[in-house]
Chains A and B, each alone.
Chain A
Amino acid sequence: MSCSSGTGNFVKLSGLLGEIHRCALVKMSMNGKFPASTCRLPANSRLKKAKEIMHRSNSFKKWNRYLIFLWLLGFFSVGFIWFLTSFNGVPSEGTEKIPPSCEDNARILLQHFNVSKNQLHALASFFYESDQVAFLECSRHSGPEKPSSDDITCALNVLCSKKPDFEKQMWVAKSSELKDQCPVRVENTPSAHDLSFPEHDSYVVLNAVSSLPWEHHTSRKNISRRTAPGVQSKDHCENLSFCMVKGCWLLLVGLVLSCQIPGVRLKLWRSRESEPAPLQPVPQKLQLLLQQKHQQQAQGPPKGAGKWRKKLLIIFVLMGILTSIWLFWHLNQKINLRREETLTNMCDERARMLQDQFNVSMNHVHALALLVSTFHHGKHPSAIDQKTFGEYTERTAFERPLTSGVAYALKVLHSEREQFEKQHGWTIKKMETEDQTLVQDCLTENLDPAPVKDEYAPVIFSQETVSHIVSIDMMSGKEDRENILRARATGKGVLTSPFKLLKSNHVGVVLTFAVYNKDLPPDATPELRIEATMGYLGASYDVPSLVEKLLHQLASNQTIVVNVYDTTNSSASISMYGTDVTDTGLLHVSSLDFGDPLRKHEMHCRFKQKPPLPWTAINASLGVLVITLLVGHIFHAAISRIAKVENDYREMMELKARAEAADIAKSQFLATVSHEIRTPMNGVLGMLKMLMDTDLDVVQRDYAETAHASGKDLISLINEVLDQAKIESGRLELEDVPFDLRSLLDNVLSLSSDKSNDKGIELAVYVSDRVPKVVVGDPGRFRQIIINLVGNSIKFTQDKGHIFVSVHLVDEVKGACDVGDKVLQQGLNLVQDMSSKTYNTLSGFPVVDRWRSWENFKTLNSKDAVEDPEKIKLLVTVEDTGVGIHLGAQDRIFTPFVQADSSTSRHYGGTGIGLSISKHLVELMHGEIGFVSEPGIGSTFSFTGSFAKGEVSSLDSRWKQYDPVVSEFQGLRALVVDNRSIRAEVTRYHLRRLGISVDITLSMESTCTYLSNACGTSDFAHLAMILIDKDAWNQERVLQFRSLLKEYRQNGRLNVSTNFPKIFLLATAMTPLERSKLKTAGFVDNVLMKPLRLSVIIACFQELLGNGRKDQVHRKKSTLGTLLREKRILVVDDNKVNRRVAEGALKKYGAIVSCVEKGQDALDKLRPPHNFDACFMDLQMPEMDGFEATRQIRSVETQVNENIASGEASIDMYGNVSYWHIPILAMTADVIQATNEECMKCGMDGYVSKPFEEEQLYSAVASFFESG
């Protein structure tokens, strides 16, 4: 069926959609891992694009959205398909209607057959009274009445004697049977055999050979007619399905397009970022091209693109709405058309059937007429009388179920009237009322005799039902008269216009046939026919029952209303059947042909109900509308989302730009600020330097030096602050320079001592003996870590206790059992000393167990024996007695900007970055950092770091400053009196650095014992100093010492004045007043302020022990003098003031100075041979600047040297000098790297900055003249 093929299309389409969905789902589940998937459907690529649109992080969310969207799409497509299939159901209903009509056909066929059968039956009953000859004639006449039988034979059963004849006739019947090919016949034949009349001697076998071909023909025609609507509906279906497909594709294309549009811009990005893969499937390429086209359009400002998208969306939605409206209209029209067709079919069918039935009846009446003609007029005497006629008609009434009665009227001319009346014994009576001829129920006797006329048509025979009309002149009724006249003229059945039959009160018509006395040719003229007319046969038809019966036979008679009209008079049609019904819109008119050409009849069909609302159309269009709106909504949401994202993106870009600008501003700010700090710091440092150059006493000098060093540290700290960014970005690289660890720690201490002294905290440093003097590493970073840790410790330690920095080798703590270092032992012995109330720590306050701080270090735990002997690992511990870190915060203190407690920054300030930086730095040193802390007791931080062993000789000069001094104290002995062994160890450590060997006594009392024991030994002779800690201080004891010492000395016969041990007091915090008091009182020779550090000790000792050696400036000056003495120097400067100054300065050192003011002059002077030893050249001079002059001098020298070398010129010519190269030093005010490089490039040997500084001049000149 075509519909089903349409449905098939839809199934395919739905399958396609399903595939799309499946693909999409697969894609989704893969999360777009295979961008070049085999699924090349637009939906897929759309998804791919969609995937790329969305950011990875929230792609899941987006996918969810798309999933929902797809689900919706799927839902709607499924709904759509369902709807379409239901739509297909409508035509199938139409096909369902066909079987009933088939049944109808069958029934009609059966009916027809029955009619023929009935007629045969009627004939058989007639044979009862007539013989065969008449029968033959009759059957010939009645041929047209029995169209469904080929032939009729009549077999008479003759008893015995006539048997052969009978047999013969049987044969005929058989042969006719053989001829018959209709299956119906088989059924029929026995029934024909059953038609026996047992009450008679003979029975008639009537065999009718139904002309099935004819039937076949009609049914085929019928079928073909039935199929016509089918075809139509098929066309209709095809049309519809095509539309649907079109609509679907339109929708899909719309979807794809609208989906692609938002993706275009992002696609653009993608295609910009990466060239599309060369091996792309063609559709994708096409798509790409399309996209590029789109891109070109979309490259305008994003707002325009957004508008464009919105416009497209609106167009899409409008198109969707229009489509839905069109769909509704289209479907509605289809439905109406189909309805109309249905109505037409039904109406035509009914009309045809009615016509057929009527015709059958009419034919029968015709047959009756012929019968009358044959047996009444053809026989003399007549074979028919009223009784016979009445009986016959009564018996055959079943054949004419639609006629209420038949009657035969004889044509009687006026001339014959009397004879006729006489013969029949009654007078011809006049019809009383014209219209009620046949239904008059009054007695005929009451009627008047008919008036005199030309001719009469008195009824002679009538069916029992209408026997009252016998003797009534039919010509007296106007209607009947016309009918009779017309019937005899045409020779056909004619109909009256409908009128009400009195008896049944139904509308009826009278059919009249003329009976002729002879067989007339078909083309007989009316005159001939009138002439031959013998009488008239009339039958009244009950139209309503006819139609009623018909309609009952047909199915679906409930749905339509049928009206039959006589429309002979077109202006006033007479209703023959049906009630007046309200107009239900659709009306179909079929014309009826009842065989009377003068009469026109029509059948009007209407549907009983008004057409129902076209739900299918409404559903379809609503569906499309809803889909459109939903899709529109989805895309609207998507578009606005895209717009939002784009806006956000722009905003973010702006913010990013601003953030970057802010970052740059921050960098600039930092640079500026650091520069701004450096400038005044340079002033401070310069002034300090100058201060140090003045004549200061030792203490003042130390102050100044400390200030200077601190300033320098500050500068370097600023640099370090700037370096933090480098650490964060991982760009920081550590230096590898040799440095003196101990000096570095002294520096750190001096930097922190102010704060610790203010707080009254004891600050001490200790370095294990096993740590080499010089290590190679990054001193700056190392110091930075320690400063950080010490700074933290100072910050969090309040008014009591100590901070103790100690450095050991990692190896020293690896084996805990054989710890030789006393400071390390302290940690182990901590518990043992608990009894003495105070702890054996630096300050006597409890500390945490330092060993725990490094117990997690991997380097300590690993048993990695294979180690580079040149590498050493240092373990640095910073111990304090501060507030400690509460346990909750201990795991996050190394996080940047996180402090142990948010209240910390309130109390102590700081950013919390220090420890983080330290951790980074330690990691850079391949070390680890750890800590142990107990709230209320303190914290100990430990870190390790890898360093290389360094040689003392490799050390930079700045680490060497104390070297000459140290030697002065070599071999001396000292006694340290301290009640805390750790502190004593620290003091011993410092003194040992000076080469002083140290003995320790724990109290003044034991010191006395020591002294008395040592008295007289060589040790005692070398005892140069006694250092007493303030905690162990006792004035009386000291005085006792002094006397004791004096005594021992004298006993020992030693020079009292020269080698009397000096007594020093070690104090943490002491005002200068107290100090001077102690000094003047003679208790002590000097007070050493803690924290102890080498410079302080040296200064202090020098003051007392040393000979007060003066500074080295004089030494240098004399060096410069000897260096330049008698040297011939050329000064080139255009500025005569400068010239004069330079001259003066150089003359000061004994040089012989010549001056020129131009580069050219210098060139002349310096042309070999000459006797200058050096040249000082100004760089900026008019005409020929320093660079140019130098270049030329050098080129001349090269020339000369080549000449000499090649022997072209003898050495004698050039003053017996084989190689000429005069040292040229630039004089410049701006000593920047670029200038320096340029100087070197043009052949200068060095530079001095103007105005001359001795040191610089010395260092610049030294390299040339020292050797020479």
Chain B
Amino acid sequence: MDFVNQLQRKFIDYSSSLHREGIVDDQFTQLRKLEDENSPHFVMEVASLFFEDCEKLINNMAIALEQKQGVDFKQIDECIHQLKGSSSSIGAMRVKNACIAFRSFSDGQNREGCLRCLQQLSHEYSLLKNKLQTLFRLEKQIVAAGGSIPRVH
């Protein structure tokens, strides 16, 4: 059980580091609380939905911003709104913040700013993805080791 304990400790440390670094916020904890026997992989499920959604939206925006003749800022705005909504739903704080910055640029029809923000956004996104995937891996390991995932209070 030592191994499981170790894993669990690691999991807790890792998850609190995510909080500390501001990658996720309280909402993520709330989501974790929603996991129960009926839906044990609720967070993972939501996260994967989010990743999927996010990649699509980022791609869309990148294509839209590539357009030499007239960027469709309305489309970008919609994408950003979507992304912001979903990121705040899963509690991806840094992605959400990046979205907010992005939004202000797209409102100002600032293509350069948007491009910079898009870069920032994809950076944040990949960071989040990495971190969360690591977390999920840990989770899986714990489960595989026969332990229970530590509940957050």
Contact = CB atoms under 8 A, between A and B. Distances in A.
Contacts, number: 64
Interface in A1236-1256: 1250-1252
Given A1136-B49, A1251-B91, A695 B153 contact: yes
Nearest to B91: A1251
B2 interface: no
Interface string A1135-1169: 11110111011011000000000000000000000
A1142 B26 CA distance: 15
Contact of B88 (A1148, A1178, A1182, A1229): A1229
Interface string B4-46: 0000000000000000000000110011011010110010011
A1252 B85 contact: no
A1134 interface: yes
Interface in A418-473: none
A1251 B27 contact: yes
Contacts of B90: 1137, 1141
B131 interface: no
A1180 interface: yes
Contact of B31 (A690, A1144, A1250): A1144
B41 to A, nearest CB: 11
Interface string B47-84: 00110010000000000000000000000001001101
A1216 interface: no
B122 interface: no
Nearest to A686: B26
Given A1134-B82, A1137-B46, A1182-B78, A1144 B34 contact: yes
B89 A1250 contact: yes
A1138 B36 contact: no
A1147 B33 CA distance: 12
A760 B91 CA distance: 47
A694 interface: yes
Nearest to A1252: B30
A329 B39 CA distance: 124
B61 to A, nearest CB: 15
Given A1250-B89, A1251-B27, A1251-B91, A1144 B81 contact: no
Given A695-B153, A1145-B30, A1252-B30, A1135 B39 contact: no
A1149 to B, nearest CB: 10
A1141 B153 contact: no
B106 to A, nearest CB: 15
A1251 B89 contact: yes
Contacts of B36: 1148
A1138 B85 contact: yes
A1137 B30 contact: no
Contacts of B53: 1135-1137
A1141 B46 contact: yes
Contacts of B85: 1133, 1135, 1137-1138, 1178, 1180, 1229, 1250
A1138 B89 CA distance: 5
Chain A's interface size range is 20 to 34
B82 A1140 contact: no
Q: Is the interface of B mostly helix, strand, loop or mixed?
A: helix
Given A694-B153, A1180-B81, A1137 B34 contact: no
A684 to B, nearest CB: 16
Residue of A1138, A1147, A1178 most packed against chain B (CB within 10 A): A1138
Interface in A647-698: 690, 694-695
Contacts of A1138: 85-86, 89
A1178 B85 CA distance: 10
Contacts of B49: 1136-1137, 1140
B46 A1144 contact: yes
Nearest to A1149: B34
B86 A1135 contact: yes
Nearest to B33: A1148
B78 A1141 contact: no
Contacts of B26: 690
Given A1147-B39, A1182-B78, A1250-B85, A1140 B46 contact: yes
B81 to A, nearest CB: 6
B114 to A, nearest CB: 20
Contacts of A1137: 46, 49-50, 53, 85-87, 89-90
Residue of B33, B78, B89 most packed against chain A (CB within 10 A): B89
Contacts of A1252: 30
Contacts of A1250: 85, 88-89
Nearest to B47: A1137
A587 B46 CA distance: 136
A479 B33 CA distance: 170
A541 B151 CA distance: 168
Contacts of B34: 1141, 1144-1145, 1147-1148
A1180 B84 CA distance: 12
A705 B31 CA distance: 27
Interface in A1031-1046: none
Contacts of A1147: 34, 38-39
A1135 B96 CA distance: 14
Contacts of B42: 1144
B38 A1135 contact: no
A1078 to B, nearest CB: 33
Given A1136-B53, A1140-B49, A1180-B81, A1251 B30 contact: yes
Nearest to B36: A1148
A1182 B49 CA distance: 19
B58 to A, nearest CB: 14
A1182 B30 CA distance: 28
A1147 B91 CA distance: 19
A1147 to B, nearest CB: 7
Contacts of B30: 1145, 1251-1252
Interface string A1174-1187: 00001010100000
A697 to B, nearest CB: 15
Nearest to A1144: B34
B111 to A, nearest CB: 23
A1148 B33 CA distance: 9
Contacts of A1141: 31, 34, 46, 89-90
A1144 B39 CA distance: 8
Contacts of A1142: 89
A1178 B84 CA distance: 14
Contacts of A1145: 30, 34
Contacts of B38: 1147
Contacts of B86: 1135-1138
Residue of A1134, A1135, A1250 most packed against chain B (CB within 10 A): A1135
Contacts of B84: 1229
A1190 B54 CA distance: 28
A1181 to B, nearest CB: 10
A1155 to B, nearest CB: 12
A1144 B35 CA distance: 8
Contacts of A1229: 84-85, 88
Contacts of B91: 1251
A1103 to B, nearest CB: 22
Nearest to A1182: B78
B125 to A, nearest CB: 13
Contacts of A1133: 85
A1144 B38 CA distance: 10
Residue of A1140, A1148, A1182 most packed against chain B (CB within 10 A): A1140
A1140 B39 CA distance: 12
Given A1135-B53, A1140-B89, 4 more contacts: A1137-B90, A1140-B49, A1251-B88, A1251-B89
20 contacts: A695-B153, A1133-B85, A1135-B53, A1135-B85, A1136-B53, A1137-B49, A1137-B87, A1138-B85, A1138-B86, A1141-B31, A1141-B90, A1144-B39, A1144-B42, A1145-B30, A1148-B36, A1229-B88, A1250-B88, A1251-B30, A1251-B88, A1251-B91
Q: Which 5 A-B pairs have the closest CB atoms?
A: A1137-B86, A1141-B89, A1251-B27, A1144-B34, A1138-B89
